Amino acid sequence: MRAFTYERATSAREAAAKAQETPGAKFIAGGTNLLDLMKLEIETPRHLIDVNGLEFDKIEKTKDGGLRIGALVRNTALAADMRVRRDYGVLSRALLAGASGQLRNKATTAGNLLQRTRCPYFYDTNQPCNKRSPGSGCAAIVGFSRQLGVIGVSETCIATNPSDMAVAMRALDAEVETIDAGGRTRKIPIADFYRLPGDTPDVETTLSSGELITAVTLPPPLGGTHIYKKVRDRASCAFALVSVAAVLQRDGTGRVAVGGVAPKPWRIEKAEAELRGGAKPFSTRLLADAKPTRENAFKVPLVERTVAAAMHEARQQ
């Protein structure tokens, strides 16, 4: 691990300003992803700003009847919150499907949104990777790509976003609240939060330099049946090959976001018009622009089958 200086933040505004003005500064909260990457020297911050002391650890009702989740709320606490379990079951289920008990106890809401890809070539510092080392090339496209992306990918990067939580947040249309170095606050719809790789796969979100996530807000409850279905190589403690976050209504309408297939949670609202026709027309439209590799082509039919399984499960409830 490279050496770094460390400070404990006492105000969000000061932390954002400090992060912007300090070369190589990064925020640290749970640290479960950042420290993993720092040990491999994939992340090499020169200064860490510990934001754990900021008071962003509460889940509160919003005026419009939604929920405001503090950036520092731990994944376990969020999944276990009774309001989330009752009104946003897809979010509880997505969180509980991710990582292990120990990691969920430490990982935060904001950190979960910002976790880096699990592409094996991003992790292997002996291999080229445009995300880790811009311009070095992509070993994944010609390599072991079974786990990697089939849509939204580019010629320079086929990595996927590993988060389960973000897939549920996308289905729910959450908003990411931030404060920037100038003290300005804004709300970013989760649909606009992640960037597709294009020629700059190292730039993953629309956050500006120093911008700090303070909360994630959920709209008022949507009702319906909430399902999170995750297909993975192990029954527990493994990243998704494909996952489906679905909120399905009795009249056959609904919202469906898919994980494990793209650099961001993959949802196309127009495709949801096909949900009444079943999983096939929906997923055909959702993945119309898919460009899978030979090794991950199985994900295209797997999405359809996982959506079908989610719809079947919803009908049983």
Q: Using alpha carbons only, what angle is made at residue 223 by residues 317 and 59, rounded to the nearest 5 degrees?
A: 115
| One-letter amino acid for residue 100 of the chain | S
x/- contact string, 179-208, with another protein (CB under 8 A)? ------------------------------
Least distance from C-beta 115 to another protein, angstroms?
12
- Pick between residue 47 and residue 280 the one whose CB is nearest to another protein: 47
| Beta strands at 59-61 and 225-231: parallel, antiparallel or unpaired | unpaired
Q: Which of residues 298-317 bind another protein (CB under 8 A)?
A: none
Tell which one of 13, 26, 85, 146 touches another protein (CB under 8 A): 85
**48 near another protein (CB under 8 A):** yes
User: Is residue 128 classed as helix, strand or coil in its secondary structure?
Assistant: coil
Total interface residues for another protein by CB under 8 A: 44
- Pick between residue 111 and residue 197 the one whose CB is nearest to another protein: 111
89-96 vs 165-172: helix axis angle to the nearest 10? 170
- Pick between residue 105 and residue 205 the one whose CB is nearest to another protein: 105
Cβ-proximal residues to 283 (8 Å cutoff; 6+ apart), any chain: 271, 300, 303, 304, 307
Burial 160-174 (b: 16+ CB within 10 A, else e): bbbbbbbbbbbbbbb
- Both tokens of residue 278? 């079943």
Q: Which stretch binds another protein (CB under 8 A): 60-68, 101-109, 182-190, 273-281?
A: 101-109
Question: For binding to another protein (CB under 8 A), which residues are involved?
Answer: 1-8, 10, 18, 21-23, 28, 31-32, 35-36, 39, 46-48, 50, 52, 76, 79-80, 85-86, 89, 92-93, 96-97, 99-103, 105-106, 235-237
